[in-house]
Structure 1
């Protein structure tokens, strides 16, 4: 293996680690987006004035504020 001046032998390993981390981030983002779409489609199926839907929305608001 030949290295150009300034290039370190571990550079290729670092690039592979970065690529793997990037893939994992993208996969996680896709899964979260799919879950969100699924939840939103389920909410559309529930009548907007039902008590269960109102309680569900209250729980989501509480959880969002707790994360901050």
Structure 2
């Protein structure tokens, strides 16, 4: 005697498929946003390092110029 199983957990219906797709889409969007934020953060850090290096070089050049002017 075979029993036909009709429990909702056995075969996904259209609603369950849609929920899975929505969850997958949300995960993809969250991952993309996280990666974009990390990239912007890295780029800002690199810009800051370049700016700090440039300022340091300018300050050092200024000090050298002032030393030479005193002589």
Specify the TM-score bucket, using the shorter chain as the normaliser: 0.5 to 0.7
Count of aligned positions: 46
Matched residue, 1:24: 32
TM-score, normalised by the number of residues in structure 2: 0.57
- The residue that corresponds to 2:47 in the other structure is 39
CA RMSD of aligned residues (A): 2.1
Q: TM-score w.r.t. structure 1 length? A: 0.59
Residue 47 of structure 1 deviates from its aligned partner by 2.3
Q: What are the ranges of 5 or more consecutive residues in structure 2 without an aligned counterpart?
A: 1-10, 59-71
Paired with 1:20 and 1:39, the residues of 2 have a C-alpha distance of 29
Identify the structure with bigger relative contact order (alpha carbons < 8 Å, sequence gap 6+). 1
Q: Which runs of 5+ in 1 are unaligned?
A: 51-68
The runs of at least 4 consecutive aligned structure 1 residues that moved more than 3 Å come to none
